[in-house]
């Protein structure tokens, strides 16, 4: 029986590349986007569903739909994220709140709502960033983005403690990827979305230690 992976933010970039590589390796994939439309994937094992992770009410409706279909998830990948203050200095109140809604509140409450749907020995993967590493931080930009990823990393550690022996949990730094996520990514990114997704996939299917913060580009653990 095919295993099922749920990937948020699967309409483009790393999320789209992840959906493609999991499908290529025999997984059933549920990909989410705000509109519920994901163009460019034609596969009987793929289902696109609408989900706005910034809205708790939307998460509740999404969870009810999965439960109505009796779907069991083997891998949950919290990939959806935003970084409106990348390359900026002082935080802006509106984008600060938006960043935490999508990068922290959304994955936290989506995960909490879906834990009972995740199979025994399943996996929860939070797509984080080395920019959320307190030990690595040498810059003063992207206040909301850096703080949000640090908070997401703490949630990873909390979950790994709570779910020890039941579900493996990890944060992943996907590398500096050539996407439209930030204005410098296309010009200076070192990995294509497909290259990053391949490294993430290899980590996900490995027997990784729960509570790990993994850098796929350096193939080593990140400093929290």
Dihedral of the alpha carbons of 161, 120, 59, 56, in degrees to the nearest 10: -20
Looking at residue 187, what is its pLDDT? Answer: 64
Query: Which residue from 89, 77, 101, 92 is spatially nearest to 13, judged by alpha carbons?
Result: 77
User: b/e string for 178-200 if b means 16 or more Cβ within 10 A?
Assistant: bbebbeebeeebebebebbbbbb
pLDDT confidence bin for 67, thresholds 50/70/90 = very high
Confidence (pTM)? 0.96
pLDDT tens readout for residues 8-53: 999 999 999 999 999 999 999 999 999 999 999 999 999 999 999 9
Beta strands 73-78 and 4-7, pairing class: parallel
pLDDT confidence bin for 178, thresholds 50/70/90 = confident
Tokens of 144: 């909301």
- Could you give the CA distance from residue 123 to residue 101 in angstroms, rounded to a whole number? 23
Each domain of the chain, given as residue ranges in start order, spans 4-221
Query: Which residue from 155, 107, 89, 149 is spatially nearest to 9, judged by alpha carbons?
Result: 107
Tell whether the model's pLDDT for residue 183 goes beyond 80.
Answer: no
Q: What is the CA radius of gyration of the chain?
A: 16
3-class DSSP assignment, residue 122: strand
Tokens of 62: 């999404």
Looking at residue 83, what is its pLDDT? Answer: 96
Beta strands 220-221 and 212-215, pairing class: antiparallel
Calculate the average pLDDT of the chain.
95
pLDDT tens readout for residues 154-175: 999 999 999 999 999 999 999 9
pLDDT confidence bin for 182, thresholds 50/70/90 = low
The CATH number of the structural domain formed by 4-221 is 3.40.50.720
3-state class percentages of the chain: helix first, strand second, coil last, to nearest 5: 40, 20, 40
CB 151 within 8 A of CB 129: no
């Amino acid at each position: 029986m095919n295993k099922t992976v749920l990937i948020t933010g699967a309409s483009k970039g790393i999320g789209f590349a992840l959906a493609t590589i999991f499908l290529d390796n025999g997984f059933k994939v549920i990909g989410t986007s705000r509109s519920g439309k994901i163009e460019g994937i034609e596969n009987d094992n793929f289902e696109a569903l609408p989900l706005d992770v910034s809205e708790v009410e939307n998460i509740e409706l999404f969870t009810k739909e999965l439960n109505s279909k009796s779907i069991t998830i083997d891998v949950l990948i919290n990939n959806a994220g935003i970084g409106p203050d990348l390359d900026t200095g002082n935080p802006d109140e509106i984008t600060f709140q938006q960043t935490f809604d999508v990068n922290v509140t959304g994955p936290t409450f989506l995960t909490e709502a879906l834990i009972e749907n995740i199979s025994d020995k399943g996996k929860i993967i939070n797509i984080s960033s080395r920019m959320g590493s307190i030990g690595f931080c040498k810059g003063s930009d992207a206040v909301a983005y850096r703080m949000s990823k640090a908070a997401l990393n703490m949630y990873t550690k909390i979950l790994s403690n709570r779910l020890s022996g039941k579900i493996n949990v990890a944060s992943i730094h996907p590398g500096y990827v050539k996407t439209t996520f930030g204005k410098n990514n296309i010009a200076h990114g070192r990995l294509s979305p497909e290259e990053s997704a391949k490294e993430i996939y290899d980590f996900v299917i490995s027997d990784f230690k729960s509570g790990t913060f993994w850098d796929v580009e350096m193939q080593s653990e990140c400093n929290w």
